[in-house]
Amino acid sequence: MARFRLKDSEEYYLALSEQPKRFDADSPVTNVFFDDSNGQVFTVRSGGVTGVTVTGMDKSNSTSFRMEDRGPIISIKFSPDLKILAIQRNQDNQNATVEFVNFKDLAPTNVEYSHTCKWKNAKILGFVWPKVNEITFITDHGIELLQVIPDKKQLKSLKNTSFSCAWFSWCSQSNIVLLAGNNGVLLQPFSLNNSTITKLQKLELEATRPVVERDVFTLRLCDATWCAIFRHAQSATVAAPGPTEVWLMPITGPSGFHYTHVLKTGLVGRFAVNVVDDLVVVHHQASQTSQVFDIMEQSRPEGGGVVHIPLVGATSLRPAAGGALYSDTWVVFQPHYIIDARLGCLWRVHLIPAGLAHSVPKDEISKIVAVLLRRTDGKDAIYRVLNQLVAEAGTYLVQLSDVFDEIHTVYRKWADLEMARNTAGPAPQPDGGAGRARVLISQGELCAHVLQQHSEAAWLVQVVTCYVASLARAGLVVQAAAAELAVRALVTRGPVAGLGAARQAGLGGLAPRKWLAAARAHAQAHGRPTAFTAVYHALLQRNERTRGSPHFLKGEQCDSYVEYYKQITAEPQ
């Protein structure tokens, strides 16, 4: 199968941020912590005595301070408003306690207090800040939601739930915590929204295939929250272990997401997962490559799950300044952070949309465009793909038609929703964000950015025909800009047939001046005045039909064409 290669595109479709955030590397006297809720790296030197440095993605959430060393730190996190610092220390034989320090302008005040969780013998597995002034302790006995009152140096219990838990996974974007019980066979999500704890539908796994902590992630993807699980083939039961799959099990989200999505990596080994622009990125250490999956792509559910393969062939991240890629010392955090604790680098992963079209099998071009339509910055790459397809329309006419269809399907859905919003009619059922597009390309934009760039292209007539055909299939009315091109194209291919074709295509709404200009140009170029008179007569009829008089209106600026008509139809005296 021939491949389409987008000109001047990189072979990489994923990149790390240009300049990594630097922090002190992990060492015997330095401990590094990362809080994915606030995107902050904490480097604690000598237990805080020689300083704590907080590095965020920008200066507004970076700071440094000193504190007393009261024992080894397990976890350290700011509240979302950066006004309270919570610290959990390893204090054996003591009650499960978290310490608090009030902050002002990113500097510690001397107001310090602590709180012990309600289960006296419990072990705190971690804590999270679902909201400003609200903290949740996750313990092996259950979870406790507390309100922090910094002025009074007090915490007030809001709600608690008992659950026997071994470890947990937290999604800061949706405030959902996933607790693992029953030796990794039962996963129980809780929502910590609205100052309460809400128990959600549990996820039960096959008893023979329990999961371990490093294989479970809670992700926010396409406005829904998912539990992502790496399912490695079991060598005990299968002679030759198969490749690893990523299972995405829905926890909560808009209707329409009730299938488990199965991402086939085709690989074995160590993996990590990120979410970038609603794409699932699976990093594979051994091959030093990353794959991307789009769960919004069209795929038929089978056997209770929807199966996906990588959108394009696995490629490495774009090499970045700072160090080796896919290093052993990398730690990947949600949604799109990568930390190399030994080097002291914090990166964000981002998408290079054009890279997705770098090398695509010919018949998958429209699929890639569909993927790009669902990406925040996909528009420019789509224009580039389209311009290249139009320039090489002799090879890509079929693909071009498919690409137009993808664009128009998206536009149609949007137009229907707008229509429903602006009228009191029954709202169409939103399809749960599935296939929800971020890029909307109007007819005017497409004409300006693509079609009008190719006025001399060899196959422009065919391209415009296939464009208008696609609009017709989507049930969209051809607007002025596209109609002008279409009329020119149709008149070029044969004035009389073109006119009929135009009528069949529903190109009625175009200014008569445009029709006449195209027809006159054609009539003069080919020495066939009938081409002009045919169009002229058709327009007179239209005038008569719509206005009751065959004459053109003043505002239509057709005087010069009326003159031209008289000139060519004048009887020889």
* Residues found near other proteins in the complex (CB under 8 A): 393-394, 397-398, 401, 459, 461-462, 465-466, 468-469, 472-473, 493-494, 496-497, 500-501, 503-506, 526-527, 530, 534, 537-538, 540-541, 544-545, 550
Nearer to other proteins, 77 or 522 (CB): 522
| Least separation in angstroms between CB 493 and other proteins | 8
Closest approach of Cβ 255 to other proteins, in Å? 32
Containing 55, the helix (H) or strand (E) segment is strand 52-55
Q: How far apart are CA 376 and CA 461, in angstroms?
A: 32
CB of 505 to other proteins, least distance (A): 5
Return the H-helix or E-strand segment holding 16. strand 14-16
Beta-strand pair 305-308/260-264? parallel
CA dist 303 and 260 (Å) reads 10
Q: Any residues with CB less than 8 A from the CB of 535 and at least 6 apart, and which?
A: 491, 495, 499, 515, 516, 518, 519
Q: How far is the CB of 397 from other proteins (least distance, A)?
A: 5
CB of 445 to other proteins, least distance (A): 22
State the Cα–Cα distance between residues 57 and 40, nearest whole angstrom.
7
Rounded to the nearest whole angstrom, what is the least distance from the CB of residue 4 to other proteins in the complex?
16
Measured from the CB atom, the residue of 305 and 500 that comes closer to other proteins is 500
Q: From the centroid of its chain, how far is CA 568?
A: 59
Nearer to other proteins, 425 or 527 (CB): 527
Q: Residue 217, SS3? A: strand
Q: Which is nearer to other proteins, 286 or 458 (CB)?
A: 458
Q: Which is nearer to other proteins, 114 or 492 (CB)?
A: 492
Cis-peptide, bond into residue 310, ω within 30° of zero: no
Does residue 335 have a cis bond before it (omega within 30 degrees)? Answer: yes
Cβ-based nearer residue to other proteins, 244 or 401: 401
Smallest distance, Å, CB 510 to other proteins? 15
From residue 266, how far is each of 32, 300, 523 by CA, in Å? 34, 19, 61
CA distance 530 to 533: 5
Rounded to the nearest whole angstrom, what is the least distance from the CB of residue 507 to other proteins in the complex? 10
- Nearer Cβ to other proteins (45/522): 522
Residues in CB range of 415: below 8 A, 6 or more apart:
476
Q: Which is nearer to other proteins, 76 or 468 (CB)?
A: 468
Looking at the DSSP bridge assignments, the partners of residue 87 are: 76, 99
Q: How many angstroms separate the CA atoms of 250 and 224, rounded?
A: 7
Task: State how far the Cα of 398 lies from the Cα of 4, in Å rounded to an integer.
Answer: 13
Hey, what are 28's tokens? Answer: 């015997």
Residue 274 vs 399, nearer CB to other proteins: 399
CB closer to other proteins, 212 vs 521: 521
SS3 content of the chain, % helix, strand, coil (to 5): 30, 30, 40
Closer to other proteins at the Cβ: 331 or 458?
458
Q: Minimum CB separation from other proteins for residue 391, in Å?
A: 14
Tell me the backbone φ, ψ of residue 561, rounded to 5 degrees: -80, -30
- As a whole number of Å, the end-to-end CA separation of the chain is 66
Q: Structure tokens of 158?
A: 């809001």
Q: How many CB atoms lie within 10 A of CB 41?
A: 24
Please say whether the dihedral angle defined by the alpha carbons of residues 452, 453, 456 and 459, taken in this order, is positive or negative. Answer: negative
Nearer to other proteins, 43 or 401 (CB): 401
Within 10 angstroms of residue 264's Cβ, the number of other Cβ atoms is 16
CB of 401 to other proteins, least distance (A): 7
Shortest Cβ distance from residue 529 to other proteins (Å)? 12
Which CB, 212 or 540, lies closer to other proteins? 540
**Cα 101 from Cα 73, distance rounded (Å):** 14
Q: Which is nearer to other proteins, 330 or 396 (CB)?
A: 396
Taking the complex as a whole, the smallest distance from the CB of residue 40 to other proteins amounts, in Å, to 56
| Contact yes or no for 489/479 (Cβ under 8 A) | no
Q: Contact at 8 Å (CB) between 107 and 98?
A: no
Q: Cβ 1 to other proteins, closest distance in Å?
A: 16
* Contact predicate 228/245, CB 8 Å: no
CA Rg value for the chain: 31
Q: Which two tokens stand for residue 120?
A: 């006296």
For the bound state, the minimum distance from the C-beta of residue 461 to other proteins, rounded and expressed in Å, comes to 8
Backbone angles phi, psi at 451, to 5 degrees: -60, -40
Using DSSP bridges, classify how beta strands 260-264 and 21-22 pair: parallel, antiparallel or unpaired.
unpaired
